[in-house]
């Protein structure tokens, strides 16, 4: 019942949010808000890292996981925070490239740098990979001139991010390459996650169609982990993968529904981008690509996280599905604004 209530709340919030896009300038305001969020949490995280006050949460904007070095921002978990940051990055880069005002472009570029700094401070390897993938997806959909500009922005952002790249953080991120080369888990965190994935797969194989039921992964984790002989952490262990959580708790039917929703959202993004390109509006086309890159990066990050009920996931999916209608409204409003009012000719 709790999961159902959470799903209903999420649907209501998404519907209300999408209704706001009928207001003139709502999409620009939406993007500007996301960029500002990235700027603020990145700046506060950098301030905390620079000053070195691990006990201060800075009004809840710069929490640290277990009061340690990993930044978790306004979330309880640094990996969850990283998954949000990677969704903000394409919007900031897009605004830095396509905003009509120089001041707005500079502000967005600073926001992109601060978002990258915050991703590094989370020390989330999944967020780092997802962020790089999101930027790559955004870049390959652009023309050559925009790619060159994006590369220049990336150089600035990358240089700024090295300010917080300590030996400890670099060593943690380097385990990605080490594990890819050896195929062996390099630390207990990775080992524990692989163990959770093995348990999730076993639960799915035991209940392939409908799964074990919502919230029952943690209930069945202990016995299944003992049977498999994998690393044991606690009864409240989570699958640490959105897709394996859905697969184990809702079965193949649940995963098919989730992937179906994702496929529809991606198809709608491609349709919106194609429509804007056909109408010659490359700025709105770039905005569509940014939405797709943000959604893809967030979905990739969720591959290392649990929680199909996460509100930000369904908000991104909702915006992606509604994107052709949102872009059509934006295009129509701009076209009407460009035509002088003929109802009251000058005398």
Q: At a CB cut-off of 8 Å and minimum separation 6, what does 245 contact?
A: 200, 217, 238, 239, 306, 307, 308
- Contact partners, residue 11, CB within 8 Å, separation at least 6: 314
Give the pLDDT band of residue 67 (cuts 50, 70, 90).
Answer: low
* Res 158 pLDDT > 60: yes
Residue carrying structure tokens 């003139």: 24
The predicted model gives 93-99 an average pLDDT of 94
Report the alpha-carbon distance of residue 255 to residue 207 in Å, rounded: 13
Residue 1 has pLDDT above 70, yes or no: no
Helix (H, G, I), strand (E, B) or coil at 64: strand
State the average pLDDT for the chain: 85
Whether 236 contacts 218, CB under 8 Å: yes
Q: Output the six-digit token pair for 193.
A: 């996650």
pLDDT reported for residue 292: 96
Nearest-angstrom CA–CA distance, 295 and 131: 11
Give the whole-number percent of the chain exceeding pLDDT 90.
Answer: 43
Closest of 75, 98, 99 to residue 87, by C-alpha: 75
Mean pLDDT for 291-295 is 96
> By C-alpha distance, which of 221, 220, 217 is closest to 246?
217
Least reliable range by pLDDT among 33-42, 70-79, 86-95: 70-79
24-49 pLDDT, tens digit each: 888 999 999 999 999 999 999 888 88
pLDDT of residue 261: 94
Confidence band for 50, pLDDT divided at 50, 70 and 90:
confident
339: confidence class by pLDDT, cuts 50, 70, 90: low
Q: For the chain, which residues make up each domain, given as ranges?
A: 13-186+241-334
Confidence of residue 333 (pLDDT cuts 50, 70, 90): confident
Asked if 288 and 323 touch (Cβ cutoff 8 Å), the reply is: yes
Between 83 and 10, residue with greater pLDDT: 83
Which residues fall within 8 angstroms of residue 88, CB to CB, at 6 or more apart? 34, 35, 37, 38, 111, 115, 294
Q: Per-residue confidence at 3, pLDDT binned at 50, 70, 90?
A: low
- Alpha helices per DSSP H over 58-124: 78-98, 102-122
Exposure string over 177-216, b if 16+ CB within 10 A, otherwise e: eebeeeeebbeeeeebbebbbbbbbbbbeebeeebbebee
pLDDT of residue 181: 62
Between 237 and 148, the more confident residue is 148
pLDDT at 345: 46
Query: What number is the average pLDDT over the span 163-172?
Result: 75
> 39 or 50: whose pLDDT is higher?
39
pLDDT score of 344: 47
Taking residue 140's Cβ as centre, other Cβ atoms within 10 Å add up to 10
pLDDT digits (tens, 9 = 90+) for 107-122: 999 999 999 999 999 9
How many residues are given for the chain?
347
Stated as kind and residue range, the H or E segment containing 72 is strand 71-73
Q: Determine the pLDDT at residue 173.
A: 75
Q: What are phi and psi of 71, to 5 degrees?
A: -75, 130
What's the pLDDT at 323? 95
Q: How far is CA 61 from the centre of its chain?
A: 18
Q: How far is CA 8 from the centre of its chain?
A: 22
Tell me which DSSP letter residue 57 carries.
Answer: -
Bridge partners of residue 63, in order along the sequence? 73
pLDDT at 178 over 70: no
Mean pLDDT of 237-243: 83
């Amino acid at each position: 019942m709790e999961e159902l209530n959470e799903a209903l709340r999420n649907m209501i919030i998404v519907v209300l949010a999408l209704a706001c896009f009928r207001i003139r300038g709502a999409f620009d305001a939406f993007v500007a808000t996301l960029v500002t969020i990235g700027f603020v949490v990145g700046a506060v995280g950098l301030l905390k890292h620079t000053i070195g006050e691990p006990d201060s949460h800075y009004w809840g904007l710069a929490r640290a996981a277990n009061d340690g070095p990993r930044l978790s921002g306004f979330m309880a978990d640094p990996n969850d925070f990283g998954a949000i940051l990677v969704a903000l990055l394409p919007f900031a880069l897009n605004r830095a490239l396509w905003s009509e005002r120089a001041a707005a472009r500079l502000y967005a570029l600073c926001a992109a740098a601060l978002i990258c700094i915050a991703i590094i401070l989370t020390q989330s390897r999944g967020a780092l990979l997802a962020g790089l993938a999101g930027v790559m997806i955004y870049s390959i959909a652009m023309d050559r001139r925009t790619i060159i500009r994006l590369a220049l922005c990336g150089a600035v952002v990358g240089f700024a991010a090295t300010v917080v790249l300590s030996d400890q953080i670099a060593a943690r991120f380097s385990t990605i390459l080490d594990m890819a080369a050896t195929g062996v888990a390099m630390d207990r965190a990775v080992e524990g996650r692989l163990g959770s994935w093995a348990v999730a797969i076993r639960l799915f194989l035991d209940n392939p169609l409908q799964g074990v039921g919502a919230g029952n992964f943690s209930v069945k984790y202990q016995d299944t982990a003992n049977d498999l002989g994998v690393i044991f952490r606690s009864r409240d262990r989570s699958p640490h993968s959105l897709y394996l959580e859905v697969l184990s708790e809702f079965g193949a039917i649940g995963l098919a529904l989730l992937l179906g929703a994702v496929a529809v959202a991606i198809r709608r993004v491609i349709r919106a981008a194609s429509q804007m390109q056909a109408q010659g509006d490359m700025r709105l086309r770039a905005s569509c690509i940014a939405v797709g890159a943000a959604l893809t990066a967030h979905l990739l990050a969720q591959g290392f996280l649990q929680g199909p009920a996460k509100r930000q996931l369904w908000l991104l999916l909702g915006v992606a599905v509604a994107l052709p209608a949102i872009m059509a409204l934006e295009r129509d409003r701009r076209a009407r604004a460009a035509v002088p009012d003929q109802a009251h000719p000058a005398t």
